Every structure is written in structure tokens, then in C-alpha cells.
Copies of this chain bind each other. A is one copy, B any other.
Amino acid sequence: MQRQGYDATPIKQISQKAEATLGSVYHFFPGGKQELAVAAVQRGDEEFSEILREIFDGEPDPADAVLALTRSLADGLRESDWIDGCPVTATALGTAGRLPDIQRAAAEAFARWQSVVFDELRSAGVPEQDADDLACTVISTLEGAELAAQVARDDKPLRLAGTHLARLIASYRS
């Protein structure tokens, strides 16, 4: 679903990749495809939260951390030949306003990622209101840059997003 979106991803394909039978899938996910999509979004939530925490832990300066993060995202995209984008965007966008459970899970993912960035900005000395606002824009920009890089099959949007976000963050620290 991360790659193709909700509707283009048949359950059969999922069960085959998982080396499970169709019956098993419906046994563990009685809610069907919708429940499966919610679980996929929640897993993407946790995966990216972990990446965020790791990179911010390794770089005390949040501006440097954002630069490292965009490089990491660019590497992942290029290595997958530009098909593994954000683990929730494709699923969320294809079901927006149609399947509320999935939308809710996606909104929770975005909110959690923002809170991770917020905490790091706070502990780097950024005032609370600025940190809250910046965390929101950091996540938005990362999402948009990854999307643009995927569409263009070029890491330029991610690289530039990194440098510009770093500059923006620095402007709130001085």
C-alpha cells in the first residue's frame, strides 16, 4: 500500500508476500482490507517515528538532524528506484474522505511525528510556540519534498528541503 495505494493493492498480493493464505489473513484481520490498511498505516507510523528518534538522538543540533534526515530519506528513495515513498501518504491520500478509520490512523501518524520533532526542538532551546509551529512545517515539508522527489525521480527536492529547513530552524535559534 505504501507503494501503490489502497485500491491498487489486492489482498491476494499481500497474502502471497506474507506467505500466508487468504483465509489466514481474514482470520487475523476480520475487518478485511480496511483493518489491514489501518494496521499498515500504524506500522508506518511506528517505523518513521523510530527513524526520527534515532536521527535526532545522533545530532544534538536539530538543524543538522533535519539535514541528516533528508539525506537518509533520499537514500531510501533512490535505493528503491523511487517507489518506496512515505509509508502512509499513498494509503491516506487514496482513501481521504472515504474511509474514516484509515484517515484517522494517518492523522495520528502525522501528529506523532510532529510531537517527536517538537520535543527535539524544545530540548534545543526553541521557545514552545515556535517549536510547535516549526514541527508542523518540518513534517509538512518533508512529506512534500519526498513526494516531489518521488514524482521527479530526483533527490533535489529533498536536498533543498533539508537546507532550507535547517536555515529556517537556525533563524529561530538566534
A contacts, CB < 8 Å to B: 3-8, 81-83, 85, 89-90, 92-98, 103, 106-107, 110-111, 133-134, 136-137, 139-145, 147-148, 150-153, 156-157, 160-161, 163-164, 167-168, 171
The 10 closest A-B pairs by CB, nearest first: A144-B144, A7-B7, A143-B144, A5-B94, A140-B144, A83-B97, A140-B145, A7-B8, A137-B164, A140-B148
CB distance from A158 to the nearest CB of B (A): 8
Number of copies of chain A assembled together:
2
Given A140-B141, A144-B144, A164–B157 Cβ distance below 8 Å? no
A89 to B111, CA, bound (A): 21
Contact: A136 with B156, CB < 8 Å? yes
A99 to B172, CA, bound (A): 42
**Which of A89, A107, A137: most chain B Cβ within 10 A?**
A137
**Which of A83, A140, A150, A171: most chain B Cβ within 10 A?**
A140
Contact: A161 with B137, CB < 8 Å? yes
Contact: B147 with A140, CB < 8 Å? yes
Given A3-B97, A167-B168, A139–B148 Cβ distance below 8 Å? yes
A140 to B149, CA, bound (A): 9
Given A107-B152, A156-B136, A7–B94 Cβ distance below 8 Å? yes
Given A7-B8, A97-B83, A171-B167, A136–B157 Cβ distance below 8 Å? yes
Tell which of B7, B85, B144 touches A141, judged by Cβ atoms closer than 8 Å.
B144
A151 to B41, CA, bound (A): 13
| Chain B residues near A150 (CB-CB < 8 A) | 93, 96
CB distance from A145 to the nearest CB of B (A): 4
A107 to B157, CA, bound (A): 12
